[in-house]
Amino acid sequence: MNDMTPERESVAAWQSDRPQRRLARLTPAKLPRGTRLLGPLIVLALWEGASQLGFLSPYTLAAPSTAVATGIAMVADGTLLPHLAASAARAYSGLLLGVIAGLVLALASGLTRTGEMLLDGLVQVKRAVPTLALIPLVILWLGIGETMKVFLIFTAVLVPVYINTHAALRGIDMGHVELARTLGLTRAEFIRKVALPGALPGFFVSLRLAVTLCWTSLVVLELINTQTGIGYLMNRARDWGQTDIIVVGIFIYAALGLLSDAVVRAVEARALSWRRSIGS
Protein backbone atom coordinates (compact mmCIF):
# COMPACT_ATOMS: atom_id res chain seq x y z
CA MET A 1 0.00 0.00 0.00
CA ASN A 2 1.08 3.52 -0.65
CA ASP A 3 1.44 5.20 2.76
CA MET A 4 2.44 8.60 1.33
CA THR A 5 0.17 11.47 2.21
CA PRO A 6 -1.03 13.86 -0.53
CA GLU A 7 1.37 16.49 0.81
CA ARG A 8 4.36 14.13 0.49
CA GLU A 9 3.26 13.07 -3.00
CA SER A 10 3.16 16.70 -4.14
CA VAL A 11 6.64 17.36 -2.65
CA ALA A 12 8.04 14.23 -4.36
CA ALA A 13 6.52 15.27 -7.69
CA TRP A 14 7.97 18.79 -7.33
CA GLN A 15 11.45 17.39 -6.58
CA SER A 16 11.32 14.93 -9.51
CA ASP A 17 10.39 17.78 -11.83
CA ARG A 18 13.32 20.00 -10.79
CA PRO A 19 15.76 18.89 -13.54
CA GLN A 20 13.18 19.62 -16.25
CA ARG A 21 12.45 23.05 -14.77
CA ARG A 22 16.17 23.87 -14.61
CA LEU A 23 16.54 22.89 -18.27
CA ALA A 24 13.53 25.02 -19.19
CA ARG A 25 15.16 28.05 -17.54
CA LEU A 26 18.43 27.44 -19.38
CA THR A 27 16.75 26.87 -22.77
CA PRO A 28 15.76 30.10 -24.51
CA ALA A 29 12.25 30.21 -25.90
CA LYS A 30 11.80 30.40 -29.64
CA LEU A 31 11.54 34.01 -30.81
CA PRO A 32 8.27 35.13 -32.42
CA ARG A 33 8.37 36.04 -36.10
CA GLY A 34 9.88 39.41 -36.89
CA THR A 35 11.58 39.98 -33.53
CA ARG A 36 15.02 39.69 -35.13
CA LEU A 37 14.28 43.04 -36.79
CA LEU A 38 13.91 44.77 -33.42
CA GLY A 39 17.59 45.75 -33.20
CA PRO A 40 17.77 47.27 -36.72
CA LEU A 41 14.50 49.12 -36.16
CA ILE A 42 15.84 50.69 -32.95
CA VAL A 43 18.99 51.82 -34.78
CA LEU A 44 16.86 53.33 -37.58
CA ALA A 45 14.70 55.16 -35.05
CA LEU A 46 17.74 56.64 -33.29
CA TRP A 47 19.25 57.56 -36.66
CA GLU A 48 16.05 59.29 -37.77
CA GLY A 49 15.76 61.12 -34.48
CA ALA A 50 19.36 62.34 -34.63
CA SER A 51 18.77 63.62 -38.17
CA GLN A 52 15.52 65.40 -37.31
CA LEU A 53 17.08 67.05 -34.25
CA GLY A 54 20.02 68.31 -36.31
CA PHE A 55 22.74 66.14 -34.78
CA LEU A 56 23.42 64.58 -38.20
CA SER A 57 23.95 66.84 -41.18
CA PRO A 58 22.32 65.65 -44.46
CA TYR A 59 25.67 66.34 -46.13
CA THR A 60 27.28 63.83 -43.76
CA LEU A 61 24.56 61.18 -43.61
CA ALA A 62 21.04 61.40 -45.01
CA ALA A 63 18.11 60.52 -42.78
CA PRO A 64 16.38 57.15 -43.36
CA SER A 65 13.14 58.94 -44.34
CA THR A 66 15.03 60.98 -46.95
CA ALA A 67 16.67 57.84 -48.33
CA VAL A 68 13.31 56.05 -48.57
CA ALA A 69 11.79 58.98 -50.44
CA THR A 70 14.79 59.04 -52.80
CA GLY A 71 14.51 55.29 -53.39
CA ILE A 72 10.80 55.57 -54.24
CA ALA A 73 11.55 58.39 -56.67
CA MET A 74 14.32 56.32 -58.31
CA VAL A 75 11.96 53.38 -58.75
CA ALA A 76 9.26 55.68 -60.19
CA ASP A 77 11.56 57.23 -62.79
CA GLY A 78 13.07 53.84 -63.80
CA THR A 79 16.57 54.55 -62.50
CA LEU A 80 16.88 51.95 -59.76
CA LEU A 81 15.44 48.66 -61.02
CA PRO A 82 17.82 48.07 -63.98
CA HIS A 83 20.82 48.57 -61.66
CA LEU A 84 19.28 46.26 -59.05
CA ALA A 85 18.70 43.57 -61.70
CA ALA A 86 22.31 43.84 -62.91
CA SER A 87 23.68 43.49 -59.36
CA ALA A 88 21.38 40.54 -58.59
CA ALA A 89 22.46 38.72 -61.76
CA ARG A 90 26.14 39.05 -60.84
CA ALA A 91 25.69 38.15 -57.18
CA TYR A 92 23.46 35.11 -57.63
CA SER A 93 25.42 33.75 -60.61
CA GLY A 94 28.59 33.72 -58.51
CA LEU A 95 26.64 32.36 -55.52
CA LEU A 96 25.21 29.43 -57.48
CA LEU A 97 28.56 28.45 -58.99
CA GLY A 98 30.36 28.82 -55.65
CA VAL A 99 27.82 26.73 -53.72
CA ILE A 100 27.92 23.91 -56.28
CA ALA A 101 31.73 23.88 -56.45
CA GLY A 102 32.15 24.13 -52.68
CA LEU A 103 29.72 21.27 -52.07
CA VAL A 104 31.38 19.01 -54.67
CA LEU A 105 34.87 19.74 -53.33
CA ALA A 106 33.74 19.17 -49.74
CA LEU A 107 32.24 15.78 -50.65
CA ALA A 108 35.36 14.76 -52.56
CA SER A 109 37.66 15.89 -49.75
CA GLY A 110 35.51 14.81 -46.83
CA LEU A 111 34.76 11.30 -48.06
CA THR A 112 38.06 10.23 -49.65
CA ARG A 113 41.64 10.39 -48.45
CA THR A 114 42.91 11.16 -51.94
CA GLY A 115 40.50 14.04 -52.27
CA GLU A 116 41.58 15.49 -48.93
CA MET A 117 45.26 15.24 -49.85
CA LEU A 118 44.73 16.96 -53.20
CA LEU A 119 42.00 19.50 -52.43
CA ASP A 120 42.04 20.55 -48.79
CA GLY A 121 45.41 22.29 -48.97
CA LEU A 122 44.36 24.25 -52.07
CA VAL A 123 41.18 25.52 -50.44
CA GLN A 124 43.05 26.45 -47.27
CA VAL A 125 45.51 28.47 -49.38
CA LYS A 126 42.60 30.28 -51.04
CA ARG A 127 41.10 30.87 -47.60
CA ALA A 128 44.30 32.64 -46.52
CA VAL A 129 44.44 34.82 -49.66
CA PRO A 130 41.86 37.67 -49.63
CA THR A 131 39.60 37.78 -52.65
CA LEU A 132 40.51 41.44 -53.24
CA ALA A 133 44.17 40.45 -53.59
CA LEU A 134 43.25 38.36 -56.63
CA ILE A 135 41.64 41.24 -58.53
CA PRO A 136 44.76 42.39 -60.46
CA LEU A 137 45.58 38.85 -61.55
CA VAL A 138 42.01 37.95 -62.51
CA ILE A 139 41.74 41.17 -64.55
CA LEU A 140 44.77 40.01 -66.54
CA TRP A 141 43.14 36.61 -67.08
CA LEU A 142 39.52 37.54 -67.72
CA GLY A 143 39.52 41.27 -68.44
CA ILE A 144 37.34 43.79 -66.61
CA GLY A 145 33.93 42.59 -67.77
CA GLU A 146 31.17 40.55 -66.14
CA THR A 147 33.11 37.28 -66.18
CA MET A 148 35.75 38.69 -63.84
CA LYS A 149 33.15 39.84 -61.33
CA VAL A 150 31.23 36.56 -61.32
CA PHE A 151 34.47 34.58 -61.01
CA LEU A 152 35.65 36.53 -57.96
CA ILE A 153 32.26 36.16 -56.24
CA PHE A 154 32.46 32.44 -57.03
CA THR A 155 35.88 32.13 -55.37
CA ALA A 156 34.72 34.10 -52.32
CA VAL A 157 31.59 31.97 -51.83
CA LEU A 158 33.35 28.65 -52.41
CA VAL A 159 35.51 28.82 -49.27
CA PRO A 160 32.84 29.01 -46.51
CA VAL A 161 30.71 26.40 -48.27
CA TYR A 162 33.66 24.03 -48.44
CA ILE A 163 34.92 24.66 -44.89
CA ASN A 164 31.60 24.18 -43.10
CA THR A 165 30.38 21.26 -45.22
CA HIS A 166 33.74 19.51 -44.94
CA ALA A 167 33.71 19.94 -41.14
CA ALA A 168 30.16 18.55 -40.96
CA LEU A 169 31.15 15.52 -43.03
CA ARG A 170 34.14 14.86 -40.79
CA GLY A 171 31.87 15.14 -37.75
CA ILE A 172 29.46 12.38 -38.80
CA ASP A 173 29.07 9.81 -36.02
CA MET A 174 31.20 6.72 -36.69
CA GLY A 175 28.29 4.64 -35.43
CA HIS A 176 26.34 5.68 -38.51
CA VAL A 177 29.27 4.75 -40.74
CA GLU A 178 29.58 1.32 -39.14
CA LEU A 179 25.84 0.78 -39.48
CA ALA A 180 26.05 1.64 -43.18
CA ARG A 181 28.83 -0.93 -43.61
CA THR A 182 26.82 -3.55 -41.73
CA LEU A 183 23.81 -2.94 -43.97
CA GLY A 184 26.02 -3.22 -47.05
CA LEU A 185 25.24 0.21 -48.47
CA THR A 186 27.01 1.12 -51.69
CA ARG A 187 29.07 4.32 -51.84
CA ALA A 188 26.27 6.13 -53.67
CA GLU A 189 23.71 4.97 -51.10
CA PHE A 190 26.03 5.97 -48.25
CA ILE A 191 26.43 9.46 -49.69
CA ARG A 192 22.68 9.84 -50.27
CA LYS A 193 21.40 8.34 -47.02
CA VAL A 194 24.18 9.09 -44.50
CA ALA A 195 26.74 11.65 -45.71
CA LEU A 196 24.43 14.27 -47.19
CA PRO A 197 21.87 14.26 -44.33
CA GLY A 198 24.72 14.40 -41.81
CA ALA A 199 26.34 17.34 -43.61
CA LEU A 200 23.13 19.37 -43.99
CA PRO A 201 23.46 21.40 -40.73
CA GLY A 202 26.98 22.52 -41.66
CA PHE A 203 25.95 23.17 -45.25
CA PHE A 204 23.12 25.49 -44.21
CA VAL A 205 25.50 27.42 -41.93
CA SER A 206 27.80 27.88 -44.91
CA LEU A 207 24.89 28.88 -47.14
CA ARG A 208 23.88 31.64 -44.75
CA LEU A 209 27.43 32.97 -44.86
CA ALA A 210 27.56 32.62 -48.64
CA VAL A 211 24.37 34.58 -49.41
CA THR A 212 25.77 37.52 -47.45
CA LEU A 213 29.30 37.20 -48.79
CA CYS A 214 28.20 37.31 -52.43
CA TRP A 215 26.75 40.79 -51.86
CA THR A 216 29.64 42.14 -49.80
CA SER A 217 32.08 41.01 -52.50
CA LEU A 218 29.96 42.65 -55.18
CA VAL A 219 30.14 46.07 -53.49
CA VAL A 220 33.84 46.38 -54.28
CA LEU A 221 33.72 44.66 -57.67
CA GLU A 222 31.08 47.06 -58.99
CA LEU A 223 33.53 49.91 -58.54
CA ILE A 224 35.71 48.46 -61.32
CA ASN A 225 34.77 49.60 -64.85
CA THR A 226 31.02 49.19 -64.31
CA GLN A 227 28.20 51.22 -65.79
CA THR A 228 25.40 49.35 -64.06
CA GLY A 229 24.72 48.03 -60.57
CA ILE A 230 24.00 49.34 -57.08
CA GLY A 231 27.73 49.76 -56.41
CA TYR A 232 28.06 51.92 -59.50
CA LEU A 233 25.18 54.14 -58.32
CA MET A 234 26.80 54.52 -54.90
CA ASN A 235 30.21 55.33 -56.40
CA ARG A 236 28.70 57.98 -58.68
CA ALA A 237 26.70 59.44 -55.77
CA ARG A 238 29.91 59.72 -53.73
CA ASP A 239 31.45 61.91 -56.45
CA TRP A 240 28.43 64.23 -56.30
CA GLY A 241 28.01 64.16 -52.53
CA GLN A 242 24.55 62.53 -52.74
CA THR A 243 24.43 60.79 -49.39
CA ASP A 244 20.76 59.91 -49.82
CA ILE A 245 21.55 57.67 -52.82
CA ILE A 246 24.45 56.10 -50.90
CA VAL A 247 22.08 55.28 -48.05
CA VAL A 248 19.57 53.86 -50.56
CA GLY A 249 22.31 51.49 -51.74
CA ILE A 250 23.14 50.49 -48.16
CA PHE A 251 19.46 49.81 -47.45
CA ILE A 252 19.19 47.65 -50.58
CA TYR A 253 22.22 45.57 -49.62
CA ALA A 254 20.90 45.17 -46.08
CA ALA A 255 17.40 44.22 -47.27
CA LEU A 256 18.71 41.69 -49.78
CA GLY A 257 21.01 40.19 -47.15
CA LEU A 258 18.17 39.84 -44.62
CA LEU A 259 15.79 38.45 -47.24
CA SER A 260 18.33 35.91 -48.51
CA ASP A 261 19.10 34.83 -44.94
CA ALA A 262 15.39 34.46 -44.18
CA VAL A 263 14.91 32.25 -47.26
CA VAL A 264 17.82 30.03 -46.21
CA ARG A 265 16.43 29.82 -42.66
CA ALA A 266 13.03 28.75 -44.00
CA VAL A 267 14.53 26.05 -46.22
CA GLU A 268 16.75 24.90 -43.35
CA ALA A 269 13.78 24.62 -40.97
CA ARG A 270 11.92 22.45 -43.49
CA ALA A 271 14.91 20.30 -44.44
CA LEU A 272 15.98 19.75 -40.82
CA SER A 273 12.52 19.46 -39.29
CA TRP A 274 13.57 16.10 -37.80
CA ARG A 275 16.30 17.70 -35.68
CA ARG A 276 15.60 18.81 -32.11
CA SER A 277 17.74 21.70 -30.88
CA ILE A 278 17.60 24.79 -28.70
CA GLY A 279 16.52 26.94 -31.61
CA SER A 280 13.84 24.55 -32.90
Q: What is the mean pLDDT of residues 220-239?
A: 85
Q: What is the pLDDT of residue 130?
A: 84
User: Is 20 part of any domain?
Assistant: no
Assess if residue 248 is contained within a domain: yes
Tell me, yes or no, whether 96 lies in a domain.
Answer: yes
Question: Does residue 191 carry a pLDDT above 80?
Answer: no
Q: What is the pLDDT of residues 120-139, one digit of tens each?
A: 888 888 888 888 888 889 98
Higher pLDDT pick, 28 / 237: 237
Q: For residue 171, is pLDDT > 90?
A: no
- The reply to whether 48 falls in a domain is no
* String of DSSP letters for 138-202: HHHHHTTSHHHHHHHHHHHHHHHHHHHHHHHHHTS-HHHHHHHHHHT--HHHHIIIIIHHHHHHH
CATH number of residue 101's parent domain: 1.10.3720.10
Any domain includes 23: no
pLDDT at 229 over 60: yes
Does the pLDDT value for residue 32 go beyond 70? no
> Distance between CA atoms of 58 and 77, rounded to whole angstroms?
23
Write down the pLDDT at residue 23: 45
Instruction: Please say if the pLDDT value at position 72 is more than 90.
Output: yes
Domain total in the chain = 1
Assess whether pLDDT exceeds 80 at residue 275.
no
- C-beta atoms surrounding 159 within 10 Å: 23
Residue 109 included in any domain: yes
- As a whole number, mean pLDDT of residues 16-37 equals 57
C-beta of residue 268 within 8 angstroms of C-beta of residue 90: no
Q: CA-to-CA distance for 224 and 200, rounded, in angstroms?
A: 36
pLDDT (tens digit, 9 = 90+) per residue, 230-253?
988 998 888 888 899 999 999 998
Q: What is the pLDDT of residue 169?
A: 85
Structure confidence at residue 4 (pLDDT): 53
pLDDT at position 278 is: 46
Q: What is the pLDDT of residue 1?
A: 46
Residue 257 inside a domain? The answer is yes
pLDDT score recorded for residue 17: 54
| pLDDT at 162 (0 to 100) | 92
Confidence band for 178, pLDDT divided at 50, 70 and 90: confident
Position 70 scores a pLDDT of: 94
Per-residue pLDDT of 202-214, as tens digits, reads 888 889 889 988 8
Q: How far apart are CA 176 and CA 193, in angstroms?
A: 10
Cα-based distances in Å from 41 to 38, 62, 216, 254: 5, 16, 22, 12
Mean of all residue pLDDT scores within the chain: 82
Closest to 247 in 3D by CA, of 102, 122, 80, 68: 68
Classify residue 253: in a domain, yes or no. yes
Residue 197 structural domain: 82-271
